[in-house]
Amino acid sequence: MNLNITRETYRDEVAWLASHRGKIVKTGGISLSHAHRAPDPVTGKRVYRSGEFVGVLSADSGLWGRYQRAAGSYAQLVTDAAVANASIVWTARTAGIGGNLISLELDDPGANSQPLTVAVNAAAIKVNLSTGSTGTITATAAQVLQAIKDDPAANALVYGELARGHNGDGLVTAIAAANLAGGVAATGTQATLTTGKIGVVDDTSIIYTAKELGAAGNNIQIEYVVDGNDTPLSVELVGAGTAADPYVITVNLKTGVGGAAESTVAEIVSAVNSHYYTRNIITAEAEGEDTGVPLIDYGPQALTGGAEPNVSMAEGQFGILLHDVDVTNGNGIGAVLFGGKVLDARLPAASDEFVRAALPRVLFTTENAP
């Protein structure tokens, strides 16, 4: 169904619409979520803007929201903020909501001459503070930081650093178990893997990136194999790309007559990016120089960090909001463009490759048309 509008009526709101011919619009059938639109910090109003990309938030609710792509944020906890030279900022090692499950307790053992120790149970970190001969706490912030670093389980969960203006000489105080907070899940991210230096050879790091957005990219693994004498460089792909049966991309490195690997990073990148199957799943690029030769086996190592878009990008569930919709006082009704010619630079945010793939009937252009 087409929505017949005039330039005069929607002059300000649809300045991004390059042409009214051939447009495909869903009118009056989408409900935009009040809860998923943050208020403007100045006006306090919650308004979806004309030209924003919107999609279905969940099949159950049927509500629509704004398309967003963002890296996850890290949960944090600050201890002893008011104690001179003793404040520590604790940050989850991994971004996302999982960091909010980590708890930290600084415990006063209530006994004389106790050592400083660390105990970890799942995501709960308990620091048993050291005490002197009279039972008073003697642990400084610097000592607590070091104790966490020296404990593999605790160090894998959190990273601690002195707060600005604190030198670590101050004595910490006991606190009950408290959770880190503020971790937010990533949305619409591609899974990646950076191999880093392979063995002791410089310039051997490659960055692998999943082609598609979402958690499916976490089901891709990379491995290098050095096997045999005088063998060619080749790439193999096995698996179904699921959690139970992930894709495993095996790079069989070229070897010389003595069996030593000879494939350079440049050659590996080219082989992966040109392989009939793997080029549709991942891209590879050298992190630095591409002249290094990995000399040893590597992996299999999985890509990580892939997260689903915050809205559905399926056909009929994703589009461009035609006009402003104010949801300050509750959910609002809007119209969505599925097809037509759009001036990309005039949109509130320009399209990305995933938006363009999800909207094949929209021509994103820089030129206007009658």
Q: What type of residue is 28?
A: G
Average pLDDT, the chain: 90
DSSP 59: T
Q: Is the pLDDT of residue 368 over 70?
A: no
- Report the alpha-carbon distance of residue 204 to residue 198 in Å, rounded: 6
72 — pLDDT class (breaks 50, 70, 90): confident
**pLDDT score of 12 more than 60:** no
Segment of 34-43, 147-156, 332-341 carrying the highest mean pLDDT = 147-156
DSSP state of 105: E
Given a cut of 70, whether residue 22 has pLDDT beyond it is no
Question: Which pLDDT does position 68 carry in this prediction?
Answer: 85
Confidence at residue 1, expressed as pLDDT on a 0 to 100 scale: 37
* CATH for the stretch 17-69+310-365: 2.40.300
Average pLDDT score over residue span 182-196: 87
Is residue 299 a contact partner of residue 224, using CB atoms and an 8 Å limit?
yes
Q: Of 275, 301, 303, 302, nearest to 198 (Cα)? A: 301
CA proximity to 207, closest of 278, 303, 291 = 303
Domain ranges for the chain, please list them: 17-69+310-365, 76-179, 192-302
- Residue 310 near residue 213, CB atoms below 8 Å: no
Q: Look at the pTM and tell me if it is higher than 0.75.
A: no
Residue written as tokens 């104010």?
326
Model confidence at 103, pLDDT cuts 50, 70, 90, reads: very high
Sheet containing 282-286: give its strands across: 192-194, 206-210, 282-286
Report, as an integer, the average pLDDT of 339-350.
91
- Between the ranges 11-15, 76-80, 342-346, where is the mean pLDDT highest? 76-80
pLDDT(9) > 80: no
Cα separation, 64 vs 140, in Å, equals 51
